[in-house]
Amino acid sequence: MMTALQAAPAVGGALVVGGVGVALSRRREYIVRWCAWAVAVPVALGAFALGGPGLALLAALGGTVCAAEYAALARLRWADRGVLHAAVLALPAAAWLVPGQLPRVLAAAVLAALLVPVLTGDAEGGARRLAFTAGGVLWFAPLAGAVLLDDAALALFAAVSVTDITASLAGRRLRGPKLSPISPNKTWAGALCGAAAGLATLAALDACTPAYAVAVLLGAPLGDLLESLVKRSLGVKDSASWLAGAGGLLDRLDSLLLTFALALLLAL
């Protein structure tokens, strides 16, 4: 498994190749996405180079932004938002400082999400609140996997990024049967091309184990569909609008969340 410093040239090369591809596509959407990754990748490499504290901070910051976007979409009350934000901060910190206590921290966060509507006496909207808050805690919990997976998390991050952009580009070019009615723009052709690119990225980073391969093959497309399902149920297209041309951070990390969850389940 490559370290962050060892992987930097390969990741940088992939970023350059991706930049050429999006430039040739002449689609503003892809060019803006690539620019976002051009900023995010060096930040991520720096966090991985710092190890535990850097990864915990990166996961906490990413979780905070995603939680804010999700809470706004779900129209969560401030008490519920407080539980969700506390969870996305506590879980990466626990993964770094007291990894053996991580299951207890997660259980406490879910329990708080379930009890807040009860303690506030919300008889009308309580069920919805606890479902969305507890669901959000569980959805964003895998970000703590950045700490637990260490160098493997960088390889998964790179593989998922390449998978997503390749699937989108190939899907538009090749078209063909739709992948799911949940997201009509996604096709089987795009998913297969993305899977091949993701596996090639894992291999280039010396991380193509059966567990990580399965995590990318299933986590990347299903994580994207999971967020599409949530957004459709809430009647929105993007998780936010602050990331020009790319929605919000949750729109960019949706595939990574499920990929990390599968990697933790299969590899640890």
Mean pLDDT by 10 residues, the chain (268 residues): 73 73 73 75 84 94 96 95 97 97 97 94 92 97 94 90 86 84 88 93 91 96 94 87 75 93 92
Show the domain range for 242: 4-267
Domains in the chain, number: 1
- Which residues contact residue 187 at a Cβ distance below 8 angstroms, ignoring those fewer than 6 apart? 171, 174, 175, 176, 177, 178, 179
List, as one string, the DSSP characters of 29-93: HHHHHHHHHHHHHHHHHHHHHH-HHHHHHHHHHHHHHHHHHHHHHHT--HHHHHHHHHHHHHHHH
157 burial level (CB within 10 Å; 0-12, 13-18, 19+): buried
Digit-coded pLDDT (tens) for 177-204? 888 888 888 899 999 999 999 999 999 8
Q: Give the CA distances from residue 166 to residues 67, 101, 104, 249, in Å, rounded to whole numbers and listed in that order.
A: 27, 38, 38, 19
Does the model's pTM come out above 0.85?
Answer: yes
Instruction: Give me the pLDDT at residue 246, please.
Output: 65
Contacts of residue 97, defined as CB under 8 A and 6 or more positions apart, other chains included, come to: 56
Length of the chain: 268
247 forms beta bridges with 243
pLDDT of residue 34: 75
pLDDT score, position 245: 59
